[in-house]
Amino acid sequence: MDSATAARTAPQDDWPEPREKRRPRRRPAAWLAALLLAGVSAILGFRVADSDGLTPVPQILAFLPFLLAPAIVALLLAALARWRVGLVWGVIVLGGVAWFLEPYGKTDDPKGPAVAEIRVMASNVQFGQATHGLLKAVRKEKPDLLFVPECDYTCSDTLRDELPRADYPYRTASEAGGAEGSVIVSKLPLKKASGLAGTLGMPGAVADLEDGHQVRIQLAHPMPPLPKQLGTWRTELAELRDYAAKGKRANRSTIIAGDFNATQDHAAFRDILDTGGVRDAARLAGSARTPSWPADLISPLGTQIDHVLATPDFSARDARFLEIGDTDHRALVVDLTLHGGDR
C-alpha cells in the first residue's frame, strides 16, 4: 500500500479537529466577558455622563474603584476566548475606570500668611454606640472642633459629662434619638447660626478665632442613598451645595464636616466641590481615596464617605482615618490652616 492510500485509510481520530468544532469551546468565556464588560460599561457611562442615575447605580458608584476587578477578569476572559472586540472593549473600560481613580478637586495653595491652626475631627458614632471610643480618640487627638453625627441623647449627655468643660466649653446640637441626633463640640467660642433642614440632624454655628476671624461651621449628615430615599439624598446634598455656594458669594470662611453618605464618584457630591466654595481636606492632604466606611473591612477596602470640606482660604495636612470601635465608620482627623489673603 502506497503512502497516499495509507493517508486516506488512517483512523479518523488521527485527523486534526476542524476549526469550527474548536470555537464553541471558547464561547462561554466570551459571553461571560461580554456580560462583565456590559455591566461595568453601564456604571462607567453614568460616571462619564456626570449622573448618579437610579438604583443600583448610586450604590455601585460608591465603590467605583472596585470595578477594576470585573474589568480585569473580563479582559482575561476575552484573551482566553481570543475575542478581539472584547480585548479592545476591555482595554477601553479598564482605562476608563483607572482614569476616574484620580482624586477629584482643586489643590491650589491659599494666598496670604497663616493666621490660625484648627484641628477638626468628624466621627459618626452609629446611634451613639461608639461614644466611649470617640472620647478616647478626642483625649488623644485634642481637636478644636468635633463633629459627631448619629449622637443620640445618651451620647450627647456623655460628651457633656465626660469632656472637660475647661477644654470644650462650647457646643451646638440637634438633640434627638438614634441617627437623627448630631452634636458639634468646640474649644472655640461658638455663636448661634441656623443649621440645615434635613431628615437627620445637621446643626451649624459660627466659630470665633482669637484674631477675631469668624468661621461658619456646618455638620453634614444627609440621608444615605437607599433605594427608596434617593430623592431625599439628592435634595439634602443639594442643600449642602447651596450652603457652600452661598458662603463663596459672601466670601465667608467655612468648614463643613461629617458623614456625607457620598463619595467623589457621586455627581451630587462633586456638585458641592464644583461650586468653588469648598475643597476636600483629605484630597488636599493626600488621602483622597482612604476608606472611612464600612470600618470592618480591611483597608484599602471600603469607600470614603466621611469628609471635611473647607473654603479655599484653608490648607490641610495630616488627614488620618482612625478606628475607634463600635461603629461602622472611621473617624477623620485633619489639621487645617487658615490663611489671611483674599480668596
The DSSP symbol for 277 reads S
HSE, side-chain direction, 13 A CA sphere, residue 319: 24
User: Measured between alpha carbons, how far is 62 from 66 in angstroms, rounded to an integer?
Assistant: 9
User: For residue 23, what are the CA distances in angstroms to 13, 86, 87?
Assistant: 19, 15, 17
User: For residue 48, what are the CA distances in angstroms to 21, 56, 119, 207, 255?
Assistant: 41, 17, 35, 39, 29
Phi and psi at 145, nearest 5°, equal -125, 130
The DSSP symbol for 311 reads -
User: Measured between alpha carbons, how far is 130 from 127 in angstroms, rounded to an integer?
Assistant: 8
Q: Looking at residue 212, what is its pLDDT?
A: 86
User: Measured between alpha carbons, how far is 147 from 313 in angstroms, rounded to an integer?
Assistant: 20
Residue 302 grid coordinates = 471600603
Q: Other CB atoms closer than 10 Å to residue 10's CB: what's the count? A: 10
Residue in the block written with cell 478626642: 138
- Helix or strand run (H / E) with residue 114: strand 114-122
Edge-first strand listing for the sheet containing 170-174: 170-174, 182-186, 145-149, 114-122, 331-339, 314-322
Q: Looking at residue 26, what is its pLDDT?
A: 73
Residue 102 grid coordinates = 484620580
Q: Looking at residue 210, what is its pLDDT?
A: 82
Q: Domain locations in the chain?
A: 12-99, 114-339
Comparing CA positions, the residue from 83, 155, 100, 161 lying closest to residue 125 is 155
- As to burial, measured by CB atoms within 10 angstroms (0-12 exposed, 13-18 middle, 19+ buried), residue 17 is exposed
**Please, are residues 323 and 141 in contact by the beta-carbon 8 Å criterion?**
no
User: Measured between alpha carbons, how far is 216 from 33 in angstroms, rounded to an integer?
Assistant: 51
Comparing CA positions, the residue from 206, 263, 275, 201 lying closest to residue 238 is 275
User: Measured between alpha carbons, how far is 98 from 64 in angstroms, rounded to an integer?
Assistant: 10
Full pLDDT tens readout for the chain, 343 residues: 454 444 455 455 554 555 545 455 578 999 999 999 999 999 999 999 999 999 999 999 999 999 999 999 999 999 999 999 999 999 999 999 999 999 999 899 898 999 999 999 999 999 999 999 999 999 999 999 999 999 999 999 999 999 999 999 999 999 999 999 999 999 999 999 999 999 999 999 999 998 889 999 999 999 999 999 999 999 999 999 999 999 999 999 999 999 999 999 999 999 999 999 999 999 999 999 999 999 999 878 999 999 999 999 999 999 999 999 999 999 999 999 999 865 4
For the four alpha carbons of 174, 201, 194 and 189, in that order, the dihedral sign comes to positive
Residue 140 grid coordinates = 488623644
**Please, are residues 310 and 279 in contact by the beta-carbon 8 Å criterion?**
yes
For the four alpha carbons of 240, 312, 274 and 301, in that order, the dihedral sign comes to negative
Q: Looking at residue 258, what is its pLDDT?
A: 98
Alpha helices in 146-202 (DSSP H): 153-162
User: For residue 261, what are the CA distances in angstroms to 47, 93, 265?
Assistant: 17, 26, 12
Predicted TM-score of the model (pTM): 0.91
DSSP β-ladder status, 190-193 and 170-174:
unpaired
Q: Looking at residue 298, what is its pLDDT?
A: 86
| In CATH, 114-339 is 3.60.10.10 | yes
User: Measured between alpha carbons, how far is 23 from 293 in angstroms, rounded to an integer?
Assistant: 45
DSSP β-ladder status, 170-174 and 331-339:
unpaired
